[in-house]
Structure 1
Amino acid sequence: MVIGGAACLSASAMFVKLADISAGAAAFLRCAVALVALVPLLAHEVWRKGWLARPLQGYAVIAGVFLGADYVMWTMSILDVGAAVATVLINVQVIAFPLLARVFGGTAISRRFVFTIPVMLAGIALASGAFERGSESGNPVRGAVLGVAAGVAYAVYLYLNRASGERSPRHVVTPICISTGAAAATAGLISLFTTGLSLSISPVSWGWVVALALLGQVAAWLLISTGTPRLAPNTSAALLLLQPVMAIGFGLVILRETPSASQLVGCVIVIAAVWFSHRTPRPAGRNHS
């Protein structure tokens, strides 16, 4: 389920570029269209399992606000640095999420993770292409900043979503639906004052928006929210790292994006560093044949 969710998320960047609409419109419509599918599922879940506890509804609303901000910033980053690189940049959440768990939940952080943080940041800097001249991207520095900021907002969403799932594991659709509604409102409001919110788009673009909403929002989060409680946190984090790998593949094969050699090296460094930081060493003293 988590691998399938990561695949759906990795395709999101590709759908955004193929839709060829403004960042604000893509972020808003991604959530607004998703509600068409989520609301009936919400009604079914409430009928079978009752309402989500009120405090957890508040968690979902706050999570949605951060998710809406994440979507706007991430979509702008896609337009600046490309789908593949933007998907790698947002994985700064793998640094931010454990820090949030440490500060607010008291979860210990391993020394391996702390020592790997500088390597992750160096890889992110390379992947952004901010140090290159003549980049194909429109604004690599802005794209890098927005991509990292989106990753932090994404980490807040993941933290609150996981907290809700731990306290009420029988509710899967409800927190996602509430968060998606809050994200739509947040993305729409931010877009009105930044990128604009033009909804006059072509039928072809609407087709890609629907794909973005159904796969990148509904299917992705239903799969991830269902699968992650059944796995150890380190395992979930490692599986979600397949997202940038798949995004690079989509970008190269379908969008014909051509990241530079240094950007690809940065992507590899980020993925390898995050994998290493979450790797559980084998117990000493055991023989393996």
Structure 2
Amino acid sequence: MLIGRARQRGGVRRIDPRLLAIAGAAFISVSAILFRLSGVSPGTAAFFRCALALPVLAPLALRERRRAGPRRRGAVDVAAGLLLGADLVLWGASIDRVGAGIATVLVNVQVVVVPLLALAVFGERPSRPFALAVPVMLGGVALAGGVAEHGTGTDPAAGIALGVAAGAAYAGYLFLTRVAGRGQEHRAQPVLLSTCGAGAMAVVIGAPWQGVDPAPGWAALGWLAALAVTGQVCGWMLIGAALPRLRAEEGGTLLLLQPVLAVVFGAAVLGERPGFSQIAGCVLVLAAVRLAGRRAGRRSAGRPEGARPPSPPGTVHRRDDSAARAIARSRMGART
């Protein structure tokens, strides 16, 4: 039984965390399409994507609790969820005021904020390739978001302020998720707690501001249920499993694939035809991700955050001292 549990716990850790982050970004990238198909307000979408995810997350979290025990740092998970709920509502509001393209760029300031937080709290210095790639990343995201094809919205100043606030909240969510997940095997429980926090914040902000429709209709509920499963359950469980095992700069960079994948899925599902600048932006983002992840990937690929790097040949660790002494004694006995 213990062996079976160990294998179950180690299953996710055997997967390259970069692949988990990319898969999570793919699930999250479908969110914009499902939100548009639902036809509801940002506050309504933020609330229902959380509420409809709870029946899926609760049994998974209960089973995980029986296997791995209660979740520590639950308060951090709830705090992260509050930031996520604020991000969802603020970003939706910024789209109407500044346009979808610029709003997408603003919310992705997380690629800069998360490494700065890691530097301030943990002393984790970003690599030079990452610093060089950041302007290319943001420029590529801007083009992929359609800045060159669309106007600036109805209220650019307010839209920029809301977008920056959404990006800061998103960065805080990612950072706290990474911190809370260090050294723990829980996957469903943190997402459940953060989803509760996000749903509560969506009501607190969205209800008085944009309104939360308690009965959006069966068709809308169907799209929102799909949004809950893909964006809230699958996406964040995969990302939550990946971030603690990646450097801050690498995790944030891989999540920039989200707008690129959104363009791809928009063309496949909604029949949208991206312009030349959007295609060029996608290429720039992919190139920047490759550049920024080159060194970080070699450092952390497949190794959990905080794990000891491979030692040089001939190095004997403390846990092997007893075995080394036994071998030495046997050799001395053979000589005498």
1:181-227 deviation line (CA, Å, top 9, x unaligned): 01100011100222111222121111000000011101112222234
Q: What residue is the counterpart of 1:61 in the other structure?
A: 78
Note if 1:225 corresponds to 2:248.
Answer: no
Residue 21 of structure 1 is aligned with which of 11, 19, 40?
A: 40
Amino acid at match of 1:26: A
Q: What residue is the counterpart of 1:240 in the other structure?
A: 255
1:241-279 deviation line (CA, Å, top 9, x unaligned): 432221101222323445554455445444433442332
Q: Distance in 2 between matches of 1:72 and 1:281?
A: 33
- TM-score, with normalisation over the residues of structure 1? 0.81
Contact 2:107 2:163 in 1 (8 A): yes
Note the C-alpha offset of 1:68: 0.5
Amino acid at match of 2:88: Y
Amino acid at match of 2:31: S
**Unpaired runs of at least 5, structure 2:** 1-19, 299-336
1:86-130 deviation line (CA, Å, top 9, x unaligned): 556533322221111111221112233333334444445555656
Contact 2:126 2:249 in 1 (8 A): no
Higher relative contact order at CA 8 Å, sep ≥6: structure 1 or structure 2? 1
Note the C-alpha offset of 1:170: 1.6
Residue 208 of structure 1 is aligned with which of 206, 223, 229?
A: 223
1:127-174 deviation line (CA, Å, top 9, x unaligned): 565677xx367548455654443333222111111111113x221111
Note if 1:277 corresponds to 2:316.
Answer: no
Q: 1:160-171, aligned counterparts within 5 Å?
A: 160-167=176-183, 169-171=184-186
Q: Structure 1 stretch 228-237 or stretch 66-75: which is displaced more?
A: 228-237
Contact 1:19 1:209 in 2 (8 A): yes
Amino acid at match of 2:237: L
Q: 1:180 to 1:64 in 2, by over 3 A?
A: same
Residue 35 of structure 1 is aligned with which of 47, 54, 62?
A: 54
Q: What residue is the counterpart of 1:186 in the other structure?
A: 201
Query: Secondary structure in 1 aligned to 2:109?
Result: helix
1:24-75 deviation line (CA, Å, top 9, x unaligned): 000111111111211122222222222122xx11211110111101111233
Residue 157 of structure 1 is aligned with which of 173, 181, 188?
A: 173
Note if 1:104 corresponds to 2:127.
Answer: no
- TM-score, with normalisation over the residues of structure 2? 0.71
Larger Rg: 2
**Identical aligned residues as a percent:** 44
Q: Distance in 1 between matches of 2:65 and 2:297?
A: 44
Note the C-alpha offset of 1:232: 6.0
Query: Secondary structure in 2 aligned to 1:166?
Result: coil
Contact 1:42 1:177 in 2 (8 A): yes
Query: Secondary structure in 1 aligned to 2:40?
Result: coil
Q: Distance in 1 between matches of 2:296 and 2:188?
A: 36
